[in-house]
Amino acid sequence: MQAEFWLERWAQNQIGFHNPDYHPGLAAYWDDLQVPEASTVFVPLCGKSLDLLWLRRQGYRIVAVELSRVAVEAFFAENDLSVSVSRQGELAVFAADGLTIYCGDFFALTAAELANVAGVYDRAALVALPPAMRSAYAAKMRELLPAGCRTLLVTFDYDQAEMAGPPFAVPAGEVATLYGSWCDVTEKAVADILDDEPRFRERGVNRIQESIYALTVR
């Protein structure tokens, strides 16, 4: 998707993709990664997700990136967080205690912004991208992440002919293709979620699975 698509969705408050609660898979499987306490966790394309607060409460320093300034400002305002705003190259930097969100293009990030990152939580980034962009996204992550970094990745799989996306279908075979050459990939869970996610049924989907993976950079 082009940047304008997401900027328009946030500007018009068309954010049915936003989860107003914590993702249950985060609490269920994050500890399996054994990301060291007090280390840095990266959350790409974070929107205004409450998962950021869950991770911060576990004692991590959070670094995130989000394209939409509307989303970033809403996150800090809705959670009553005092924030300072500065500029770093192409990116605006929103910082509160233990939490930094870079506002701008994900591809403008450098390894300097992710220095010492030990964990990644990707619930909404990979699945937000169409096939042509997913390989570039994975290649950029490979460039950014150090050896030993561990990722909790959430994907969906459904008949793409039934729904155009986003979120897009990313089957297990594609996860292996994108990450298998540079990460150890472990599937942690697969669940049918159509009954719990009526928004997908409303869009014409007859079956949808959510998968959760643990990835470790080699």
Cβ atoms within 10 A of the Cβ of 86, count? Answer: 9
In sequence order, which residues have a C-beta less than 8 Å from that of residue 73 and are 6 or more positions away? 94
Domain presence at residue 18: no
150 is in an annotated binding site: no
Domain presence at residue 134: yes
Domains of the chain: total: 1
Q: Quick check: 77 and 69 in contact, CB under 8 A? A: no
Report pLDDT for 171.
97
Domain presence at residue 192: yes
- pLDDT of 10 over the 70 cut: no
CATH number of the domain where residue 32 is located: 3.40.50.150
Query: How deeply is 155 buried, as exposed, middle or buried, from its count of CB atoms within 10 A (0-12, 13-18, 19+)?
Result: buried
45 is in an annotated binding site: yes
How do residues 176-210 score in pLDDT, each as one tens digit? 999 999 999 999 999 999 998 888 999 999 999 99
Domain presence at residue 164: yes
- pLDDT of 34 over the 80 cut: yes
End-to-end CA distance of the chain: 30
Report pLDDT for 168.
94
10 is in an annotated binding site: yes
Report pLDDT for 165.
85
- pLDDT of 6 over the 90 cut: no
pTM summary value: 0.94
Domain presence at residue 17: no
How do residues 70-111 score in pLDDT, each as one tens digit? 999 999 999 999 999 999 999 999 999 999 999 999 999 999
What is the rounded CA–CA span in Å between residue 189 and residue 211?
6
54 is in an annotated binding site: no
